[in-house]
Amino acid sequence: MDAVVSSLLEGDHRALSRLISLMERGDPQVGPAMERLFPHTGSAYCIGITGPPGVGKSSLVNALVQLERGDGRQVGVVAVDPSSPFSGGALLGDRVRMERHYLDPGVFIRSIATRGTEGGVPRVIKGVVRLLDAAAKDVVLVETVGVGQTELDVMQVADTVVVVLVPELGDAVQALKAGLMEIADIYVVNKGDLGGTDRMVNAIESMLHTGPARGWTPPVLVTQAMNETGIQELKGAIQAHRNHLEQSQHLEAQRQRRHAAEFLAIVEEELGRRTREMALRDPDIRAALGAVQDGQAEPYSAAMRVLRDPSLGSRLFAQSDIG
Q: What CATH number should be reported for the domain holding residue 158?
A: 3.40.50.300
How confident is the model over 3-23, as pLDDT tens digits?
999 999 999 999 999 999 998
Final residue in a domain of this structure, among 206, 221, 248: 248
φ/ψ bin of 229: left (φ > 0), alpha (ψ from -120 to 50), beta (otherwise): beta
Q: How confident is the model at residue 94 (pLDDT cuts 50, 70, 90)?
A: very low
Between 38-47, 174-183, 206-215, 266-275, the lowest mean confidence (pLDDT) is in 174-183
pLDDT tens-digit readout, 155-169: 888 999 999 999 876
Q: Is residue 323 part of a domain?
A: no
3-state helix/strand/coil string of 197-216: HHHHHHHHHHHHHHCCCCCC
Domain check: are 208 and 64 in the same one? yes
The answer on pLDDT for 322 being more than 60 is: no
Based on the fold, state whether residues 12 and 50 are members of the same structural domain.
no
Q: Report the distance separating Cα 80 and Cα 33, nearest Å.
A: 23
User: Which domain does 197 fall in, by range?
Assistant: 41-248
Q: How confident is the model at residue 87 (pLDDT cuts 50, 70, 90)?
A: very low
DSSP-H helix ranges across 162-249: 173-176, 197-210, 231-247
More confident residue, 38 or 196: 38
295: left (phi over 0), alpha (psi -120 to 50) or beta: left
- The yes-or-no verdict on residue 57 having pLDDT over 70 is yes
- Shared domain for 188 and 70, answered yes or no, is yes
| Strand order from edge to edge, sheet including 107-113 | 107-113, 75-81, 139-143, 45-50, 160-165, 186-189, 220-222
Confirm if 143 and 80 have CB atoms less than 8 A apart.
yes
- One domain for residues 126 and 219: yes
Residues 183 and 105 both lie in one domain:
yes
Q: Which residue from 20, 51, 240 is spatially nearest to 133, judged by alpha carbons?
A: 20
Looking at the fold, whether 72 and 192 belong to one and the same domain comes out as: yes
Q: What's the chain's length in residues?
A: 323
Contact 122, 114 (CB under 8 A): yes
311 and 188 share a domain? no
- Full-model pTM: 0.84
Cβ contacts of residue 191 below 8 Å, gap of 6+? 55, 56, 166, 167, 224, 225
- Looking at residue 112, what DSSP letter applies? E
Residues 108 and 239 in one domain: yes
Cα gap 71→63, rounded to integer Å = 13
173 and 106 assigned to the same domain: yes
User: How far does CA 216 lie from the centroid of its chain?
Assistant: 22
Reply yes or no on whether the pLDDT at 119 is more than 50.
no
33/55 same-domain check: no
Query: For the chain, what percent of residues have pLDDT higher than 90?
Result: 48
Domain boundary among 248, 279, 307: 248
pLDDT of 212 higher than 90:
no
Of 172 and 195, the one with more pLDDT = 195
Mean pLDDT of 227-246: 96
121 conformational bin, left if phi > 0, alpha if psi -120 to 50, beta if neither:
beta
Classify residue 216: in a domain, yes or no: yes
Longest dimension (CA), the chain: 67
User: What's the confidence (pLDDT) of residue 151?
Assistant: 54
Q: Are residues 239 and 270 in the same domain?
A: no
Residues 147, 152, 158, 162: what is their CA dihedral angle, to the nearest 10 degrees? 60
Q: In whole angstroms, what is the distance from residue 160 CA to residue 303 CA?
A: 41
Instruction: With CA atoms as reference, report the closest residue to 187 among 148, 155, 166, 218.
Output: 218
Residue 96's pLDDT band (boundaries 50, 70, 90)? low
4 & 66 share domain:
no
pLDDT higher than threshold 90 for residue 317? no
**Bridge partners of 49?**
143, 162
Predicted local confidence at residue 154, as pLDDT: 81
